[in-house]
Amino acid sequence: MNTIISKDILSPSIKRYVIKNSKIAAKAEAGQFIILRVHEKGERIPLTIADYDREKGTVAIVFQEVGNTTQKLGEMEVGDKILDFVGPLGVPTTLPQGDNIVCIGGGMGIAPIYPEVKSLYNKGVKVTGVLGARTKDILFFSNEMDKICDKLYIVTDDGSQGRKGFVTDVLRDIIKNDNKIDGVIAVGPLPMMKAVCDITKVHNIPTIVSLNSLMVDGTGMCGGCRVTIGDEVKFACIDGPSFDGLKVDFDEQMRRLKMYKEEEEKVLGCKCGGEC
């Protein structure tokens, strides 16, 4: 159990592992995540279930090496076992109703958006995909997404692949040209999700986002993952991580993610290149 079956290097800092764990594979749904620990003294970190295969009993994770734990994870090889691997955690995303859905994945958010697009595709829903990244080296899954999206747009900040600009530029155009979008799912860095919601709010389009709060247990025990949704405080690990984007207090989330920045940098300079 928890053996790494395959390792794909999607970009120098982004890796995709397929991991054997038939219990999690049997239960996983789009929007859920796992928590792992790579060694006895290690931190528990959450990662989205990027894909699953119930028959083979495997789940996939895609992660970016941004700090200590993700780097140690990145050093592991096929055949190695991940010490602790628990899930599926969180509630599956309630996919938006309707048959014209826009799914936006920004940066690492492309990994979690993939199983959601796949679920919609399997239900016969028409999905417009928008993938964004800083530059083409860190853009992944575009071929896989192309197969399950009705239309797929790609944008990079520097124009190295697809259109130059931000995912919100594309979203604005889609809204302009296609005035009956039933819902939006947006997963990516908090500023991106916030910018998306600023637009969809104006047009009153139901929007689902996925929050990557800091977590410890992932079972509702510590309250470290709390998020404000409308006027209620929720725990991202058991009430989410997907929430109604139009109600999320993004500023609070951005602030809370910085809680351990100093400590993390002391252990290891951040290498994400401005992504976090």
Partner 1 sequence: MPYQDPKKRIKNFDEVSLGYDKDLAIKEAKRCLQCKKPSCVKGCPVGIDIPSFIKEISNDNYKGALEKLKEKNLLPAICGRVCPQEDQCEKLCIVGKKNEPIAIGRLERFVADNQKMTSKLKPGLEGEKVAVVGSGPAGLACASELLQRGYRVTIFEALHKPGGVLMYGIPEFRLPKDVVEQEINQLVDMGVELQTNMVIGQTITLLELLEKGYKAVFIGSGAGLPFFLNIPGENLNGVYSANEFLTRANLMKAYLYPKWETPLRVGKKVVVVGAGNVAMDSARTAMRLGAKEVSIVYRRSEAEMPARKEEIFHAKEEGIEMNLLTNPISIEGDAEGWVNKIRCINMELGDPDESGRRRPKPVKGSEFTIEVDTVIMAIGQGANPVIPRSTKNLNLNDKGNIEVDSETGQTSIEGVFAGGDVVTGAATVIQAMGAGKQCAESIDKYIKNN
Ligand X SMILES: Cc1cc2nc3c(=O)[nH]c(=O)nc-3n(C[C@H](O)[C@H](O)[C@H](O)COP(=O)(O)OP(=O)(O)OC[C@H]3O[C@@H](n4cnc5c(N)ncnc54)[C@H](O)[C@@H]3O)c2cc1C
- Which residues lie near ligand FES (CB under 6 A)? 215-218, 220-225, 235, 237
**Binder of residue 33, out of partner 1, ligand X, ligand FES, none (CB less than 5 to 8 A by kind):** ligand X
Q: Tell me the number of residues near ligand X by CB under 6 A.
A: 28
Q: Which of 27, 136, 247, 271 binds partner 1 (CB under 8 A)?
A: 27
- DSSP-derived pairing of the beta strands 183-187 and 207-210: parallel
Q: Is 222 annotated as ligand-binding? A: yes
Torsional class of 130: left (φ above 0), alpha (ψ -120 to 50), beta (otherwise): beta
Residue position matching structure tokens 């351990």: 260
**Binder of residue 259, out of partner 1, ligand FES, ligand X, none (CB less than 5 to 8 A by kind):** partner 1
Contact criterion met (CB below 8 Å) for 186 and 196: yes
Contact criterion met (CB below 8 Å) for 106 and 157: no
**Binder of residue 87, out of ligand FES, partner 1, ligand X, none (CB less than 5 to 8 A by kind):** partner 1
- CB-wise, 118 or 256, nearer to ligand FES? 256
Nearest distance, CB of residue 240 and ligand FES, angstroms: 9
Please choose, out of 119-127, 173-181, 194-202, 207-215, the segment that lies near ligand X by the rule CB under 6 A. Answer: 207-215
Phi, psi of 117 (to 5 degrees): -65, -40
Please choose, out of 4-12, 134-142, 149-157, 212-220, the segment that lies near ligand X by the rule CB under 6 A. Answer: 212-220
- CB-wise, 46 or 129, nearer to ligand X? 46
State which of positions 121-180 bind ligand X (CB under 6 A).
none
Nearest distance, CB of residue 61 and partner 1, angstroms: 15
Please choose, out of 39-47, 79-87, 95-103, 170-178, the segment that lies near ligand X by the rule CB under 6 A. Answer: 39-47
Compute the distance between CA of residue 272 and CA of residue 201 in angstroms, rounded to an integer.
Answer: 30
76 near partner 1, judged by CB under 8 A: no
86 near partner 1, judged by CB under 8 A: yes
Nearest distance, CB of residue 263 and partner 1, angstroms: 4
Torsional class of 124: left (φ above 0), alpha (ψ -120 to 50), beta (otherwise): left
Nearest distance, CB of residue 70 and ligand X, angstroms: 3
State which of positions 205-234 bind partner 1 (CB under 8 A).
216-224, 226, 228, 233
Binding site for ligand X (CB under 6 A): 33, 43, 45-48, 62-64, 66-70, 108, 111-112, 212-215, 219, 241, 257, 261, 264, 270, 276
Binding site: what residues are annotated?
Answer: 62-64, 222, 225, 237
Annotated binding-site members for [2Fe-2S] cluster: 222, 225, 237
